[in-house]
Amino acid sequence: MQKSFAMAALLAASCGAQAATDADLAAIRAQIDEMKKSYEQRIASLEKKLVQAESKASAQPVAAPVVTTEGRQTAASTASGFNPEVSLILQGQYKNMKDVPERGITGFYPAGGHDHGDGAIPGISKRGFSVEHTELVLAANIDPYWRGQAIIAMVDGTAEVEEAWFQSLGLGHGIGLKGGRYRSGIGYLNEQHPHMWDFADAPLMYQAMFGEEASYVQDGVQFKWLAPTETFIELGVEAGRGATFPGTDRNKNGSGAAAAFAHVGGDVGLSSNWRAGVSYLKTKAKEREGHFEDIGGVEALGKFTGDSSTVLADFVWKWAPNGNPKYQNFKFQTEYFSRREKGDLTCSDDEGVGNACDPLVAGDSVTSRYKTRQSGWYAQGVFQFTPQWRAGLRYEQLDSGHRDFGANAANLVVADYRPKKATAMVDYSWSEFSRVRLQFAQDKSMLGITDNQVTLQYVMSLGAHGAHKF
Amino acid sequence: MKHFAMSILLAVTGLSAQADLKVFATVPEWGALAKEIGGDKVRVYTATNAFQDPHRIEAKPSLLAQARQANLLVAAGADLEIGWLPLVLRDSGNSAIQNGRSGYFEASAFVNRLDVPATLDRAHGDLHAAGNPHTHLDPRNVLKVGEALTARMAELDAANATSYQAAFKTFASKWQVAIARWEKEAAPLKGVPVLVHHQSFVYLSHWLGLKEVGALEPKPGIEPTSGHLTGLLSRQQTAPARMVLRAAYQQEGPSQWIAGKTGIPAVLLPYTVGGTPEAGDLFGLYDDTIQRLLKGIR
């Protein structure tokens, strides 16, 4: 720094030599002399230190390379050797399945969600080879009181902020505060990133609840409290914008979504741990769009305005001999949801294809009552039988339940259906950072279609170790 | 609600009457050391046991609940707990034990670390940037860590400072006598070539002069492969090892395979407190480790 300053000074001095007065030159010379002196002093002190270090080193001969540490100053080098911690997740797949236009779940409101695909081939129905997700994760402690993390998801020419939040470190009393865009604490799988999933895709239940992203993301704040008890008891509440399915983005003050959750957990002996939770999510929607099928099989646009409330229950059990999951472990997880929606549904013929929602002239619509009560669950078990191999089974079922479309029942197909899916997977990990997975699924989530799917997927993590949640 | 509040109040006051300092130790060795120093003045919770691979622990709910209540967190450090501890710390809502606070203590910060990698590349396996974290198997390190830990405990719980200092003094003098005895007993181990499952014994080898001539893991954190084991077998012709060492938490298969092919003994070492029935405390850990090694070269 000083050197470049001196260089600049010299340069300036030589360029402006004619203009410079003697006084200027003298000042520059004095400055240079001073710098010289300070450098000489520093070199001398460094030489002295070197001699000291050498004599110390020879006093205690050590064969192996040694790092000398001086207590707390160098102690805090854990994850901040790289500041911020950077990691990159590479995820892609080969998928073999039926070509179903407008793939969805029969009997459930079509969650447009947002789509990583290119429109013509939405991500959820992409066949063949594809790069699903490239996730760039940046995280670091901001200061002694806060920590921040951002996840940028990159897909084919677009990058989006998947998460960007800060979290408290120093509040104490079991209090945790989080703000920004984050995965909501509801349910069990919701907080987990796709690269942590035990199967190549999310359970149908998550797709039905939150759309293709299969996760509810809040733009808002989260408040958590951990009880000072031997048994793990955690309570949390959230308030957010509520822009994503089942809500919609609206221009308003206040919050558009509220969530609450409670978790309990503990150990059973040395080998087993468990966690159970209940959660509640309330969102509001205004003109939430979804493509329906009219009674004649023609496409119709539905717009829902109203309230949506979801109750979730989750349970996880992990077993490993002596609590050492490295060589063998088993994980069982199950979740259940029940959702009620109440409001109005407007069905229209925006494409002008002459559907049943257009009784008079093109552009007309029918608004009716909309009231549903739907539910679903999944259960899965994954067994790691050697350090490298795991195998898992998942079974899931949804219930289209009670659906009251009012006057629109005469215009739209109101199918009563129980979507089902059975999945088996086996995966291999070279290390904890690289994994390939082969998955077979029999998907009966669409009425009248049995879709046998084969997925070959890879998940690779580069960079900083991300600590994973239980 | 009233009952709940009362029981919490009772629990808080009850605990403070029994134990002045609540220590959360990530690994058994440092939990045992905290017990030596703290005696009945502390309540030590040890997050892991000797049969768990300390690299592969999960941030399970019970750990969060325990970390929530701790006054002092004692970690091995050098990234050993990187897969779970940061998460436990953050979600504990406990400000006292966060990294950088006086309630956060990393043992590896107070010793000279070995195996500090010159290059950090996962192609070399799961390396720890701060060096090998298994520092406790050199008893001289236990003394250094003990000194720093005593100071920290005294700082956090000034009322019992003299008690901690006195307990450590007693421990240290007993420990120094023990070190001299162990070094004498272990003299025949000097220069003995050994194979190890994972680089868990670097400090032990360094202290006793054992010569690690190979590891069953092709790279740190990568499980032994048949190809790599066969390679070790052929190397046995030119650079023969006299035993193959593994920690209580490691699978015995690869060690047994090498032992069966070469005729050298496969030696299980407790690695930490509780790893064998004999390794009930820190003294037992070293007594048993040296006895097992000596048995290995007989």
B contacts of A433 (beta carbons < 8 Å):
122
**Whether pLDDT at A73 is above 60:** no
Distance from CA of A108 to the nearest CA of B (A): 34
Do the chains contact at B93 and A67, CB–CB below 8 Å? no
d(CA B274, CA A135): 41
d(CA B209, CA B190): 5
* Token pair of B4 as six digits: 């709940």
> What is the per-residue pLDDT across B38-77, written as a single tens digit (0 to 9) for each?
999 999 999 999 999 998 899 999 999 999 999 999 999 9
d(CA A370, CA A384): 46
pLDDT of residue A118: 42
d(CA B133, CA B29): 13
pLDDT of residue A349: 84
> What is the per-residue pLDDT across A85-98, written as a single tens digit (0 to 9) for each?
899 999 999 999 99
Alpha-carbon dihedral of residues B223, B229, B231, B234, nearest 10 degrees? Answer: 160
Contact A304, A290 (CB under 8 A): yes
d(CA B295, CA B286): 14
Q: Is A178 on the interface with B (CB under 8 A)?
A: no
At residue A57's C-alpha, the angle toward residues A55 and A59, to 5°, is: 70
A contacts of B99 (beta carbons < 8 Å):
76, 78, 141
Do the chains contact at B100 and A144, CB–CB below 8 Å? yes
Count of Cβ atoms closer than 10 Å to residue A134 Cβ: 16
Q: Is A268 on the interface with B (CB under 8 A)?
A: no
CB-nearest partner of A226 from B8, B12, B92: B92
The residue with greater pLDDT, A111 or A6, is: A111
Highest mean pLDDT among A14-23, A294-303, A305-314: A305-314
Closest to A201 in 3D by CA, of A91, A100, A74:
A91
Distance from CA of A46 to the nearest CA of B (A): 23
Do the chains contact at B83 and A467, CB–CB below 8 Å? yes
CB-nearest partner of A229 from B65, B108, B114: B65
CB-nearest partner of B68 from A226, A264, A470: A226
Q: Is B131 on the interface with A (CB under 8 A)?
A: yes
d(CA B1, CA A268): 27
The terminus-to-terminus CA distance of chain B in angstroms comes to: 66
For B295-298, which contacts have Cβ atoms below 8 Å and span 24 or more sequence positions?
B295/B265, B295/B267, B296/B242, B296/B243, B296/B265, B296/B267, B297/B188, B297/B189, B297/B192, B297/B242, B297/B243
d(CA B44, CA B48): 12
Q: Is A72 on the interface with B (CB under 8 A)?
A: yes
Query: Would you say how long chain B is, in residues?
Result: 298
**Whether pLDDT at A113 is above 60:** no
CB-nearest partner of B129 from A81, A327, A470: A81
A contacts of B116 (beta carbons < 8 Å):
65-67
The terminus-to-terminus CA distance of chain A in angstroms comes to: 48
pLDDT of residue A19: 44
**Whether pLDDT at A351 is above 70:** yes
B contacts of A324 (beta carbons < 8 Å):
51-53, 56, 249
Contact B142, B33 (CB under 8 A): yes
Contact A435, A458 (CB under 8 A): yes
Closest to A364 in 3D by CA, of A346, A376, A382, A379:
A346
Q: What is the pTM of this model?
A: 0.83
Q: Is B109 on the interface with A (CB under 8 A)?
A: yes
Closest to A433 in 3D by CA, of B77, B122, B216:
B122
Alpha helices in chain B (DSSP H): 2-18, 28-38, 61-69, 85-92, 139-156, 161-185, 202-208, 226-238, 253-262, 282-297
Bond prior to A325 in cis (omega within 30° of 0): no
- Mean pLDDT over residues A13-39, rounded? 59
For A98-105, which contacts have Cβ atoms below 8 Å and span 24 or more sequence positions?
A98/A449, A98/A451, A98/A452, A99/A125, A99/A127, A100/A125, A100/A446, A100/A449, A100/A451, A101/A125, A102/A291, A103/A446, A104/A445, A104/A446, A105/A204, A105/A207, A105/A208, A105/A398, A105/A419, A105/A445, A105/A446
**Whether pLDDT at A59 is above 50:** no
d(CA A198, CA B8): 38
Closest to A224 in 3D by CA, of A238, A236, A209:
A236
> What is the per-residue pLDDT across A386-443, written as a single tens digit (0 to 9) for each?
989 999 999 999 999 999 999 888 889 888 899 999 999 999 998 888 999 999 999 9
Q: Is B212 on the interface with A (CB under 8 A)?
A: no
d(CA A462, CA A90): 8
d(CA B152, CA B109): 13
Contact A394, A378 (CB under 8 A): yes
- Quote the percentage of chain A above a pLDDT of 90: 58
B contacts of A223 (beta carbons < 8 Å):
none
DSSP B14-50: HHHHH-SEEEEESSHHHHHHHHHHHGGGEEEEES--T
> What is the per-residue pLDDT across A131-142, written as a single tens digit (0 to 9) for each?
877 999 999 988
Q: Is A467 on the interface with B (CB under 8 A)?
A: yes
Residue ranges of chain B whose pLDDT lies below 70 = 1-19, 120, 125-127
Q: What residues contact A157, with CB distance under 8 A and at least 6 apart?
A: none
Closest to B195 in 3D by CA, of B161, B169, B218:
B218
Mutate to test the interface with B, among A62, A68, A69 (most CBs of B within 10 A): A69
Q: Give Cα B297 to chain centroid, integer Å.
A: 25
Do the chains contact at A432 and B221, CB–CB below 8 Å? yes
Chain B CA closest to residue A223: B93
d(CA B215, CA B192): 15
Instruction: Give the DSSP letter of residue A142.
Output: E
Largest interatomic CA distance in chain A: 99
Q: What residues contact A323, with CB distance under 8 A and at least 6 apart?
A: A270, A271, A273, B48, B49, B51, B52
CB-nearest partner of A72 from B86, B95, B109: B109
Distance from CA of B291 to the nearest CA of A (A): 25
What is the pLDDT confidence band of residue A36, given thresholds at 50, 70 and 90? low
Contact A416, A435 (CB under 8 A): no
- Restricting to A residues 203-242, those with a Cβ less than 8 Å away from any Cβ of B are 224-234
Distance from CA of B36 to the nearest CA of A (A): 21
Q: What residues contact A229, with CB distance under 8 A and at least 6 apart?
A: B8, B11, B65
d(CA A337, CA A374): 8
Distance from CA of B119 to the nearest CA of A (A): 13
**Whether pLDDT at A212 is above 90:** no
- What H or E segment, with its residue span, contains residue A30? helix A22-59
pLDDT of residue B288: 97
- What H or E segment, with its residue span, contains residue A325? none
d(CA A275, CA B89): 18
Size of interface A-B (CB pairs under 8 A): 184
B contacts of A432 (beta carbons < 8 Å):
56, 83, 126, 221
Q: Is B111 on the interface with A (CB under 8 A)?
A: yes
Q: What residues contact A15, with CB distance under 8 A and at least 6 apart?
A: none
* CA-based R_g, chain B, Å: 20
CA-CA-CA-CA torsion sign (B13, B18, B21, B25) = negative
Q: Is B164 on the interface with A (CB under 8 A)?
A: no
The mean pLDDT of chain A is: 84
Count of Cβ atoms closer than 10 Å to residue A26 Cβ: 10
Q: What residues contact A48, with CB distance under 8 A and at least 6 apart?
A: none
Lowest mean pLDDT among A51-60, A156-165, B289-298: A51-60
A contacts of B64 (beta carbons < 8 Å):
226, 232, 234
Do the chains contact at B130 and A64, CB–CB below 8 Å? no
- What H or E segment, with its residue span, contains residue A187? none
B contacts of A169 (beta carbons < 8 Å):
89-90, 95, 98
What is the pLDDT confidence band of residue A48, given thresholds at 50, 70 and 90? low
Q: What pairing do the DSSP bridges indicate for beta strands B211-215 and B193-196?
A: parallel
Do the chains contact at A167 and B126, CB–CB below 8 Å? no
Distances (CA, A) of B176 to A26, B110, B141: 66, 18, 12
CB-nearest partner of B116 from A67, A233, A327: A67
Instruction: Give the DSSP letter of residue A412.
Output: B
- Mean pLDDT over residues A1-29, rounded? 51
The amino acid sitting at B90 is: R
- What stretches of A16-127 adopt beta strand conformation (E)? 85-96
A contacts of B112 (beta carbons < 8 Å):
62, 66-69
Instruction: Give the DSSP letter of residue A234.
Output: E
Contact A310, A338 (CB under 8 A): yes
* Token pair of A199 as six digits: 């199967």
> What is the per-residue pLDDT across B2-38, written as a single tens digit (0 to 9) for each?
555 545 444 444 444 455 899 999 999 999 999 999 9
